[in-house]
Amino acid sequence: MQIYTYACTDCGSFDLMRPMARRDETASCPSCEQAGRRVFTAPHLGRLDPALDRAVTSAGRSSESPGVTRHVPAAAGPPSPPPRRPDLPPLPRP
Ligand SMILES: [Zn+2]
């Protein structure tokens, strides 16, 4: 499914997500339900989800100039034992 732009003669342009096979069909305007014709526009590259856009930008920046660690992070301590489950029998002791 792709996003295509259509133009209504009364309301202006509107976007619609539809299969590529139906891209050249007229689309019903969401406001007045008139048939709108497809309009050719630049690719909708700027319409990424903001969180996804930040992640992609950060990954690109990191691949070009990765961050440098100047100190070893503090130890987190020994791992904590898993929580006890009273519904299970205790393990045998050696
Ligand atoms: Zn309309």
> Residues with Cβ < 8 Å from 77, sequence gap 6 or more?
none
For residue 34, being part of any structural domain is answered with yes
Determine the pLDDT at residue 66.
Answer: 82
Question: 28 CA to middle of ligand 1, Å?
Answer: 8
Determine the pLDDT at residue 52.
Answer: 83
54 in helix, strand or coil?
helix
Determine the pLDDT at residue 45.
Answer: 65
d(CA 24, CA 12) in angstroms, rounded, equals 18
d(CA 42, CA 65) in angstroms, rounded, equals 31
This model's pTM is above 0.85: no
For residue 30, being part of any structural domain is answered with yes
Number of domain units in the chain: 1
Question: 12 CA to middle of ligand 1, Å?
Answer: 7
Who surrounds ion ligand 1 at CB < 5 A? 8, 10-11, 29, 31-32, 34
| Each residue's pLDDT expressed in tens, for the chain with a length of 94 residues | 788 999 999 999 999 999 999 999 999 999 999 999 999 887 766 677 888 888 888 888 888 888 888 888 787 778 888 888 999 998 888 8
Domain that holds residue 32: 2-41
For residue 21, being part of any structural domain is answered with yes
Token pair for 1: 């499914």
